[in-house]
DNA sequence: ACGCCCGCCTGTAAGC
DNA sequence: TGCTTACAGGCGGGCG
């Protein structure tokens, strides 16, 4: 799915193209995509007539401020897309929710696998009603922490590094692609225990997190061969061309030329260089 | 508290 | 060619 760089790319597009607009009508084609609501009307009536006042991102969540203390929460899951299209555009397969604006144009939520979701909730009870948001760890770009604090948090756990990077309660926004790319950049193995890092290694890891994410945003995220991730306009990202280990088993390491390996780690694929990641 | 597995879904590619 | 299986960027729950 979209990870932090892809969600941030979409957020910036939405800010320019959609924020400030007023919602005329909402069509829900699939209950599963609004599964926290008891029925379609319960969701659509909370949006119709409202304005998208502003938009924030926390980790992989998009939070639209609707005014009147209400928030539209969007999580794209594994295959979710948000597309801004003219009202006359043909309906793409797997379109789950359609939001029509008063000045014309639509925002469409397309999601083949339906792991993504949208819901409206009160802003002041957001964290009570949505525990996964309340428990979200720091966002490395929106709420960076001092590296000594990061060091303390790593020291306080005895988990493998990749497990921690993927744990949204520890750090918000990373997924399988960027966890692997960050660990490569930092020169650290996926299975290195978090409490064994030297302070130099902690700094390298923190710097790698920030650099890889910034770089990926600069290139508008990663679109893999399945083309599941596209931006608001339907365009691909280009950061996949700069991946140094993800999906590159059998190819030479860009740093030391040793062959990149692919392993299974807690049920999913991981790529790394066995020579320069320690 | 942690690690591991499953289920949630559809779509695609690889394997037989 | 056609069927089966594995796998895919996420996440929550349950189990030992």
Q: Which nucleotides in chain C lie less than 7 Å from some protein C-beta?
A: 7-12
The structure's pTM equals 0.97
Distance CA(A16)–CA(A156), nearest Å, equals 41
Instruction: State the pLDDT at residue A95.
Output: 97
Query: Do A82 and A109 meet the contact criterion of CB atoms below 8 Å apart?
Result: yes
User: How does DSSP assign A202-222, residue by residue?
Assistant: HHHHHHHHHHHHHHHHHTT--
Query: Do A23 and A64 meet the contact criterion of CB atoms below 8 Å apart?
Result: no
For strands A70-75 and A117-122, give the pairing.
antiparallel
Nearest CA to A33 among A94, A89, A91, A92?
A94
From the CA of A164, how many Å to the C1' of C14?
Answer: 21
Distance CA(A162)–CA(A164), nearest Å, equals 5
CB A22: neighbour CB atoms within 10 A? Answer: 12
Is strand B within 7 Å of residue A269 (CB)?
Answer: no
* Subset of residues 6-35 in chain A with CB less than 7 angstroms from any atom in strand C: 6
Active site residue A201: no
Q: Would you give the DSSP letter of residue A160? A: B
Q: Which two tokens stand for residue A59?
A: 């980790």
* Radius of gyration, alpha carbons of chain A: 20
**How far is CA A247 from each of CA A164, A169, A225, A277, rounded to the nearest angstrom?**
21, 26, 11, 16
Alpha helices in chain A (DSSP H): 4-17, 40-47, 126-129, 131-134, 147-155, 161-166, 176-186, 199-218
Is strand B within 7 Å of residue A159 (CB)?
Answer: yes
Q: Which two tokens stand for residue A179?
A: 């966890």
**Which residues does A214 contact at the CB level (< 8 Å), separation at least 6?**
A141
Q: Which nucleotides in chain B lie less than 7 Å from some protein C-beta?
A: 2-6, 8-13
Q: What element of type H or E holds A71? A: strand A70-75
Q: What is the mean pLDDT of each run of 10 residues along chain A (278 residues)?
A: 94 97 98 96 98 97 96 96 97 97 96 96 81 91 95 94 95 96 96 95 97 97 92 96 95 96 91 95
A118 pairs with which residues across the strands? A74
């Amino acid at each position: 799915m979209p990870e932090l760089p892809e969600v941030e790319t979409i957020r910036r597009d939405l800010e320019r193209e959609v924020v400030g607009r007023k919602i005329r009508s909402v069509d829900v084609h699939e209950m599963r995509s609004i599964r926290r609501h008891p029925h379609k009307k319960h969701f659509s009536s909370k949006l119709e007539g409202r304005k998208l006042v502003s938009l924030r991102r926390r980790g992989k969540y998009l939070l639209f401020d609707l005014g009147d203390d209400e928030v539209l929460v969007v999580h794209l899951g594994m295959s979710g897309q948000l597309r801004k299209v003219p009202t006359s555009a043909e309906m793409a397969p797997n379109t789950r929710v359609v939001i029509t604006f008063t000045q014309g144009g639509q925002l469409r939520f397309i999601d083949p696998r339906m792991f993504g979701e949208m819901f409206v909730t009160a802003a002041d009870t957001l964290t009570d009603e949505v525990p996964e948001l309340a428990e979200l760890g720091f966002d490395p770009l929106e709420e960076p922490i001092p590296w000594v604090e990061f060091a303390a948090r790593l020291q306080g756990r005895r988990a493998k590094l990749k497990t921690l990077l993927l744990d949204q309660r520890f750090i918000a926004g990373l997924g399988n692609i960027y966890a692997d790319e960050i660990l490569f950049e930092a020169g650290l193995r996926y299975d290195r225990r978090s409490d064994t890092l030297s302070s130099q290694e902690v700094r390298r890891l923190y710097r790698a997190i920030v650099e890889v994410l910034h770089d990926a945003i600069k290139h508008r995220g990663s679109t893999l061969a399945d083309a599941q991730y596209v931006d608001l306009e339907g365009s691909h990202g280009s950061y996949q061309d700069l991946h140094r280990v993800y999906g590159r088993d059998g190819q030479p390491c860009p740093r030391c030329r040793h062959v990149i390996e692919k392993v299974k780690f807690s049920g999913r694929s991981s790529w790394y260089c066995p020579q320069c990641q320690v």
